[in-house]
A and B are shown apart, each in its own frame.
Chain A
């Protein structure tokens, strides 16, 4: 296992970054993550690529605290704070947001009510989400996503197409202003038009305050959301890191050569 660069012991403020240190996790008895090391500073979006079934989605879910997964070692530091002992809702309120690969349907909860309560959860005791704050933000987000206002009266993802569910994930992202986003194969099942809309949503948030991981199997999404760095995960470890050109190489050459890296 490789160790991350040692952090200098100083009294400086915590770095604005997600740092994953030697992360191990399993489902039941099956180890999936076998020592992931990654640093994503705010201001950068990193692509995480790799063959299916090698731990990309597991990494996403472990970061946000999916109870299906057991962390068996390592740390995930968000702005210097280890979040692995925190409840999923605490992690979210720290500013971590996962755009799910398969968002759940919740009939009976309207999108509007859900968004309002999620925003409210971020407020201090006694402080209310104002109508203007909510509505102003909502209208802007819907415009970016080319979505009619009536959508928010519908039940959360109930009867939505795959593309609508993904668009709804981006809507939540825009409304909740995360500091770190993790996009878990958001491109899967999207046609080019939907892909462009999703990318526009993400790009509208890009800036020095936002860091994140874009998990994808294909180069396709990265044509629209150009990553600052690309990491390749094989067999639960980061086997290669590089610039955007790495994604293009995977696109033309496939994954065979990286699988060899893992066994080497």
Chain B
């Protein structure tokens, strides 16, 4: 059934430990089913995929000049202020810029995973798969309302992470040594350019003790019917470190995007994440914060705009495993046309994670009576001295605000667009990355304009 995929697996070269890991992950992938509607965490999202017909994205040659890149990529790169970036087309790095010398001198590494395996094999082996393993992490589970989450999630929730673990071709590798601060953001721009294929990627960002870094993970393509992007993003945030991670999913129509993003956050460390979902036809983005260390902090932000027949599923986990940790989640989304939005968010507090302060809010703006939005917020609290709250609101554009704008002469259609933009802008106000925010505002404006 998965013949093209096992052929593809055989083509991967690398150190023995990795080959074994790929093989093991592939076997797991092969035994698992695609999560069905009986699996609570996938209840509203059904992925239709025929693995027997799934071909890997063709290889792409590296270019030496930006002008040889696709126009849309050139345009995007011209307005970014990342300090160094990789451009990946399907499985391959096609263009890259180097880190400033002062950072390499301090031991900062920014390259692709394939190159890193050759140049820094120990570092890669130490961290790869440590945060996002092949199988579904034990704490990833959403139970049916009114029931206590079972100890282990359904194994099928590991279907795509096993696939990503076995078949990843490349992705960014960032390593920031202890105490080093990288002021400018680093980033990878992922594109795909062949319809009817799949690309599996893996991104690994390691911030050692008290390091600081920002990583931007952008995905963009033309419309590509029947195309799959399967990803895993591993974020290692050691004690006292600060990592800001931004993913901007802006694939073209026809793309199915399934990505598990997870951070392992140490003592007094901070992970700020922003998930932006705008493109693709089906999108499942998981953002998981494992607050391992005392006093750790995770800010989890997201904004999405689903229109036409887009189906966006956001899964989140705030797992408080240590005392005095803080997590603050704000997801805001717009549902238009016949789109479907799903949010399932879990706050999980372990026994002993006293003084946990966890907050979760999902807000949806409904612009169409045909759009659907499902919100499944969940709490599982095993400590007795905690502050946890969650909330979810869904509604149309505020009528009082709409009337106010109209009373100033602004036509209803324009006024609605202003309010939709304002609704999402609120999230961006919390992200101190000027050029990224400007780019996201541009995507929003395009979507709002087309709505």
Contacts and interface: CB of A to CB of B under 8 A. Distances in A.
B422 A93 contact: no
A168 B365 CA distance: 27
Given A100-B404, A108-B421, A118 B410 contact: yes
Of B399, B401, B410, B425, most A-chain CB atoms within 10 Å: B410
B409 A106 contact: no
- Main secondary structure, interface of A, reads mixed
A170 to B, nearest CB: 13
Interface string B401-425: 1011111111110110011011111
B425 A121 contact: no
Contacts, number: 77
Contacts of A261: none
Contact of B404 (A87, A104, A176): A104
Contacts of A262: none
A39 B261 CA distance: 66
A65 B407 contact: yes
Interface in A69-113: 87-89, 91-93, 97-98, 100, 103-104, 106-109, 113
B105 interface: no
Given A106-B422, A108-B426, A118 B401 contact: no
B50 interface: no
A53 interface: no
A103 B405 CA distance: 11
Interface string A110-131: 0001100110011000000000
A61 to B, nearest CB: 9
A104 B407 CA distance: 12
A64 interface: yes
B408 A67 contact: no
A66 interface: yes
Given A92-B409, A122-B409, A67 B404 contact: no
Nearest to A118: B408
B409 A118 contact: yes
Contacts of B406: 65, 87-89, 92
A117 B404 CA distance: 13
Contacts of A100: 404, 407
Interface string B382-416: 00000000000000001111011111111110110
A179 interface: no
Nearest to A64: B407
A172 interface: yes
Interface in B187-236: none
A115 B414 CA distance: 13
A91 B411 CA distance: 11
Given A67-B399, A121-B414, A176 B408 contact: yes
A99 to B, nearest CB: 10
Given A106-B422, A108-B423, A109-B422, A117 B410 contact: yes
A97 B407 CA distance: 7
Contacts of B421: 108-109
A66 B418 contact: no
A91 B425 CA distance: 29
B83 to A, nearest CB: 28
Contact of A121 (B403, B410, B426): B410
Contact of A89 (B412, B418, B424, B426): B412
Given A106-B401, A109-B418, A117-B418, A88 B407 contact: yes
Nearest to B420: A108
B409 A107 contact: no
A106 B407 contact: no
A59 to B, nearest CB: 15
Contacts of A67: 399, 403
A226 to B, nearest CB: 27
Given A67-B403, A104-B400, A108-B425, A172 B412 contact: no
Nearest to B400: A104
A181 B14 CA distance: 76
Contact of B401 (A64, A93, A104, A117): A104
Contact of B424 (A64, A103, A108): A108
Nearest to B427: A108
A93 B409 contact: yes
Contacts of A118: 405, 408-410
A107 B424 CA distance: 10
25 contacts: A65-B406, A67-B399, A87-B406, A88-B407, A89-B406, A89-B409, A89-B411, A89-B412, A89-B415, A92-B408, A93-B409, A98-B407, A103-B404, A104-B401, A106-B404, A106-B419, A106-B422, A107-B425, A108-B419, A109-B418, A114-B408, A117-B410, A121-B411, A122-B409, A176-B409
Interface of A: 64-67, 87-89, 91-93, 97-98, 100, 103-104, 106-109, 113-114, 117-118, 121-122, 155, 172, 176
Nearest 9 CB-CB pairings of A with B: A108-B422, A92-B409, A108-B425, A88-B406, A89-B406, A118-B408, A121-B409, A93-B409, A109-B422
